[in-house]
Amino acid sequence: MTDRLDLPDWPRWMPIKLAAAYLSVSENTFRSFGIVPIEQGRCVRYDRRSLDLYADRVAGQPMTPAEGRRAAKDVESAFLERRRNRG
């Protein structure tokens, strides 16, 4: 896991290694969260805003209606992706 002190400026889109470090977890633990990545061709990245929304939801932080809709969309997308991978 990458040390957060070595990474003062977090990019908007992150590869899984950096996204896991952002949430201070291992890559395997991060994968279990079901956060939906952004895929452009073979490039898979995680949006920092999605990571923040996930952390806020887990911590029970209040969300604006727009954030709530986005979080619900992320959960639905993760569910559909898991279903596709099983089929």
- pLDDT at position 1 is 53
pTM exceeding the 0.85 threshold for the entire prediction: no
Q: How far is CA 78 from CA 4, 6, 7, 9, in A?
A: 26, 30, 28, 27
Burial (CB < 10 A; 0-12, 13-18, 19+), residue 39, is exposed
> What local confidence, expressed as pLDDT, does residue 63 receive?
76
| Tokens matching residue 7 | 């990474």
pLDDT at 67: 80
Domain positions in the chain: 4-86
pLDDT in tens, 14-51: 999 999 999 999 999 999 998 989 888 899 999 998 89
